[in-house]
């Protein structure tokens, strides 16, 4: 019992340090690769935490490896526009001069209801008042009137 507690505390602090190393973001602002790494880290920490038969280093080593993968992908994102678009996607105009681009909505799997909800969140009730609305890669939209 005490060993499980010690392993849990150790892995908790390791995951905390790794997640801080990945930067400050809310889940809704994470890029897909960041979310995938966060989910994998949680799984890697859970197994050796709960099962004493599995050496703790079987969780620690892959978690540190994922941190390095995250750092490498982040550097690539800063250096290469083409790879950034491949890894993270690119912003998409959903409304231009008051007209909805339905093809863009379909390609982005974004519904008109979601779009209207985001517009209402920006105190916009009349679609014709929107000059353009952009779906950012973090799934948040910026709307300018």
Residue 127's domain is classified under what CATH number? 3.30.240.20
Task: Give yes or no: residues 123 and 55 share one domain.
Answer: no
Structural domain boundaries, residue 72: 2-87
Question: What is the reported pLDDT for 61?
Answer: 92
Task: Give yes or no: residues 118 and 52 share one domain.
Answer: no
Q: Considering 40, 55, 87, which residue would you say is the last residue of a domain?
A: 87
Task: Give yes or no: residues 102 and 58 share one domain.
Answer: no
Each as own residue / partner, the long-range contacts of residues 50-53 (CB below 8 Å, 24 or more positions apart, any chain) are 50/4, 52/3, 52/4, 52/7
Give, for all 145 residues of the chain, the pLDDT tens digit.
788 888 888 888 888 888 777 766 656 667 777 888 888 888 888 888 888 888 988 889 999 998 888 888 889 888 988 888 887 778 889 999 888 999 988 888 888 888 888 888 888 888 888 888 888 776 443 433 3
Task: Give yes or no: residues 51 and 97 share one domain.
Answer: no
Domain count, the chain: 2
Structure-block tokens of residue 31? 């890029």
Each as own residue / partner, the long-range contacts of residues 118-121 (CB below 8 Å, 24 or more positions apart, any chain) are 118/143, 119/143
Task: Give yes or no: residues 22 and 52 share one domain.
Answer: yes
Q: Is 110 left (phi over 0), alpha (psi -120 to 50) or beta?
A: beta
pTM for the complete prediction?
0.61
């Amino acid at each position: 019992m005490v060993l499980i507690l010690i392993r849990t505390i150790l892995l908790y602090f390791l995951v905390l340090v790794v997640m801080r190393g990945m930067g400050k973001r809310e889940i809704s602002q994470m890029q897909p690769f960041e979310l995938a790494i966060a989910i994998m880290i949680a799984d890697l920490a859970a197994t050796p935490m709960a099962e004493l038969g599995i050496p703790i280093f079987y969780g620690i080593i892959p978690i540190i490896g994922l941190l390095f993968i995250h750092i490498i992908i982040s550097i690539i994102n800063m250096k290469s526009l083409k790879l950034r678009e491949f890894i993270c996607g690119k912003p998409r105009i959903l409304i231009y001069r008051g007209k909805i681009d339905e093809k863009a909505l379909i390609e982005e799997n974004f519904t008109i209801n979601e779009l209207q909800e985001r517009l209402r969140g920006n105190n916009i009730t009349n679609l014709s008042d929107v000059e353009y609305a952009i779906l950012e890669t973090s799934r948040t939209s910026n709307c300018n009137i």
